[in-house]
């Protein structure tokens, strides 16, 4: 019996050691990328999708789409389903990778000292050297922490993106870090039952990150975009409320998904017990792309 107990303890200790290692290795396999570049003295990676339908003899749009906290490029591709839309419409889509473990984006630091913002700009430069990317048709969007980072990038490089989009965005960029010479058109989506980035704001996660009330933040964005304050209803599916802010310097559309969780509407579902319900009433990627198509730097 005395020999059995040490063996059991050894097996338990081995399991405790190997479980995190196995998880790490699994994530390394899942976190596939196909491109890298040096930015701010470190290697940064990304997953690029070039559809067979892309006409590379002509200027072509580019979509940057950013994963959420603890997610990764291939996961964002699977969740958002941008690749299928790229096949249908013939644009390039790239999924950049954040840093750290788990992966994340720094959406709060000022642009001058924000290596993530510099990386995304460097990535646009790098891809523009390889492909005939139309500089007037570059768009950025993301989920959760990636949605907040999309806003941060649009503040810092307002002259590089024609519009941005955000799904279940975690907005931590101080407004004083968003002193733009040009307001950027935006399309925002949020579920009113989001358990991770609460619709009514408050603390989130183990670090008790303080997040804004979404309705308040969107109206602050409308004020930032010099909108009149009035809105018009956007016809959409039952269970989704769409608002278009009127008389803006930069267009702003806003969708509230009734019962929607911390998910990408009509995308591949995330675990419901963590993120809540994935709505199939609204295809966020298609709505976002249609909004993007209406905006180009050379027409504003």
Q: How confident is the model at residue 12 (pLDDT cuts 50, 70, 90)?
A: low
Pairing of strands 60-66, 92-96: parallel
Domain-embedded: residue 105? yes
Q: What values do phi and psi take at 270, rounded to 5? A: -90, 170
Alpha-carbon span 81 to 63, nearest angstrom:
12
The pLDDT confidence band at residue 209, using thresholds 50, 70 and 90, is: confident
Looking at the predicted structure, is the pLDDT value of residue 186 above 90? yes
Could you tell me the pLDDT band of residue 22, with boundaries at 50, 70 and 90?
very low
Residue 101 in domain: yes
Place of tokens 């730097």: 297
Q: Please, what's the b/e burial string for 15-33 (b: 16 or more CB within 10 A of its CB; e: otherwise)? A: eeeeeeeeeeeeeeeebeb
Decide: helix, strand or coil at residue 163: strand
Question: What element of type H or E holds 271?
Answer: none
Helix (H/G/I), strand (E/B), else coil: 89: helix
pLDDT of residue 270: 92
Q: Is residue 18 one of the residues assigned to a domain?
A: no
- 263 class by beta-carbon count within 10 Å (0-12 exposed, 13-18 middle, 19+ buried): buried
| Average pLDDT value for the chain | 91
Give me the CATH number covering residue 151.
Answer: 3.40.50.1820
77: which 2 tokens? 């591709």
Rounded to whole angstroms, how far apart are CA atoms 4 and 30? Answer: 38
pLDDT band at 31 (very low <50, low <70, confident <90, very high): confident
pLDDT tens for 36-48 read 999 999 999 999 9
Give residue 267's domain range.
35-299
Structural domain contains residue 128: yes
d(CA 43, CA 119): 10
For tokens 């009734």, the residue is 258
Quote the distance between the C-alpha of residue 250 and its chain's center: 20
Strands 133-143 and 60-66: parallel
Residue 287 lies in a domain: yes
Residue 5 has pLDDT above 50, yes or no: no
Domain for residue 179, yes or no? yes
Q: Is residue 234 part of a domain?
A: yes
Number of domains in the chain: 1
Which phi and psi angles does 201 have, rounded to 5°?
80, -175
- 157: in domain: yes
């Amino acid at each position: 019996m005395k020999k059995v107990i040490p063996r059991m303890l050894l097996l338990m200790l081995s399991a405790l050691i190997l479980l995190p290692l196995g998880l790490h290795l699994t994530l390394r396999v899942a976190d596939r990328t196909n491109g890298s570049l040096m930015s701010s003295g470190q290697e940064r990676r990304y997953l690029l999708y070039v559809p067979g339908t892309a006409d590379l003899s002509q200027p072509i749009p580019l979509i940057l789409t950013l994963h959420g906290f603890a997610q990764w490029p291939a996961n964002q591709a699977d969740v958002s389903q941008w690749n299928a839309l790229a096949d249908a419409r013939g644009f390039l889509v790239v999924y950049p990778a954040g840093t750290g473990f788990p992966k994340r984006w720094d959406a709060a630091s000022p642009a001058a000292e924000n290596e993530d913002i510099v990386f995304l700009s460097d990535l646009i430069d790098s891809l523009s050297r390889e492909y005939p990317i139309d500089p007037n048709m570059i768009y950025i969007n993301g989920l959760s922490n990636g949605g907040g980072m999309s806003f941060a990038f649009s503040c810092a490089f307002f002259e590089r993106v024609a519009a941005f989009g955000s799904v279940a965005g975690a907005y931590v960029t101080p407004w004083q870090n968003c002193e733009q010479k040009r307001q950027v058109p935006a399309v925002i989506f949020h579920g009113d039952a989001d358990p991770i980035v609460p619709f009514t704001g408050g603390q989130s996660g183990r670090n008790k990150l303080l997040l804004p009330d979404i309705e308040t933040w969107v109206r602050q964005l409308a004020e930032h975009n010099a909108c009149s304050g009035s809105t018009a209803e956007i016809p959409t599916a039952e269970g989704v409320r769409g608002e278009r802010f009127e008389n803006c310097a930069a267009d702003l559309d806003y969708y509230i998904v009734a019962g929607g969780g911390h998910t990408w509407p009509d995308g591949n579902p995330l675990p419901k017990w963590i993120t809540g319900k994935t709505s199939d009433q609204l295809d966020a990627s298609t709505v976002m792309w249609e909004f993007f198509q209406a905006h180009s730097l050379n027409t504003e």
